[in-house]
């Protein structure tokens, strides 16, 4: 069951994207990872546009890994819109970003983030963090029931 569920990675930096994918792979997490390269694309995929639903099947989505500094629509805005929409208000969202500034932490949790992870500079640590994340959100965590 776990291997069928997908992960949405919202990340504008291709290096970070490659490193995240590599870190997940090193942890033998082979689930499909869909990548959105800005906030608008992420919202499109999740909520769709003009009344059409997004391309992602929400019931198959295990977790969203959300960067905060994003082009077009920033991460906090994406988070707020997801929480405002009944389809995604319970969707697990993990903020995965460079900063550990207090105001980012406060805003992220206030906006309804389920978790906040700072990307470590050292790749070894990043791999470890990615392993924890995959194990937890794909295996340990019980997903919310789908609301329609």
Partner 1 sequence: MKWPGASTVRGKLLLASILSKTAAFLVAGVVITGYDMMALRERLVRRLSIQTDIVGANCLSALLFNDPQSAETTLAALRADPRVRAVGLYSGDRRLFATYVRDAGSEGILPAEAPAGSGPDYRGRDDHLRLSRNILFQGKPIGSVLIVSDLSEVTATITRDVGIFAGVLLLALLIALAINIRLQRTISGPILSLAETARKVSQEKDYSARAAGAGGDEIGALVTAFNEMLEEIQMQQAELRTAHDRLEQRVAERTAQLETAVKELEAFSYSVSHDLRAPLRSIEGFSGALMEDCGDQLNAAGKDSLKRIIASTVRMGQLIDGLLNLSRVTRAEIRGRSVDLSSLAGEIVEELRQGENGRRVEAVVAGGAVVEGDPALLRAVLQNLIGNAWKFTRKRDEARIEFGVAKESGETAFFVRDNGAGFDMTYSDKLFGAFQRLHGQNEFPGIGIGLATVQRIVNRHGGRTWATGAPDKGATIYFTLGNGGRNGGQEDRAAG
Enumerate binding residues for partner 1 (CB under 8 A).
13, 15-16, 19, 22, 68-69, 97-103, 119-124, 126
Report, in Å, the least distance between residue 100 CB and partner 1.
7
- Integer angstrom CA distances of residue 95 from 25, 39, 105, 115, 128: 20, 13, 9, 6, 16
Kindly tell me the burial class for residue 128, based on how many C-beta atoms sit within 10 Å of its own C-beta (0-12, 13-18, 19 or more): middle
Report, in Å, the least distance between residue 56 CB and partner 1.
26
Of the pair 4, 103, the CB lying nearest partner 1 is at: 103
Of the pair 120, 144, the CB lying nearest partner 1 is at: 120
What token pair was written down for 78? 């994406």
Q: Outline where DSSP puts E strands in the chain.
A: 6-10, 33-36, 61-66, 93-97, 115-118
Whose tokens are 């909520």? That residue is 47
Report, in Å, the least distance between residue 148 CB and partner 1.
36
Report, in Å, the least distance between residue 19 CB and partner 1.
4
Of the pair 22, 90, the CB lying nearest partner 1 is at: 22
């Amino acid at each position: 069951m776990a291997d069928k569920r997908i992960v949405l990675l919202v990340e504008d930096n291709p290096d970070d994207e490659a490193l995240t994918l590599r870190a997940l792979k090193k942890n033998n997490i082979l689930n499909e990872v869909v990548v959105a390269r800005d906030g608008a694309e992420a919202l499109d995929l999740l909520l769709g546009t003009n009344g059409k639903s997004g391309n992602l099947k929400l019931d198959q989505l295990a977790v969203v890994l959300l960067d905060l500094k994003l082009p077009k629509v920033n991460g906090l805005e994406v988070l707020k819109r997801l929480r405002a929409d009944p389809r995604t208000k319970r969707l697990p969202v993990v903020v995965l970003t460079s900063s550990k500034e207090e105001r980012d932490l406060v805003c992220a949790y206030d906006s309804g983030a389920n978790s906040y992870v700072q990307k470590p500079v050292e790749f070894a640590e990043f791999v470890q963090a990615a392993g924890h994340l995959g194990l937890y959100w794909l295996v340990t965590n019980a997903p919310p029931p789908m609301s329609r």
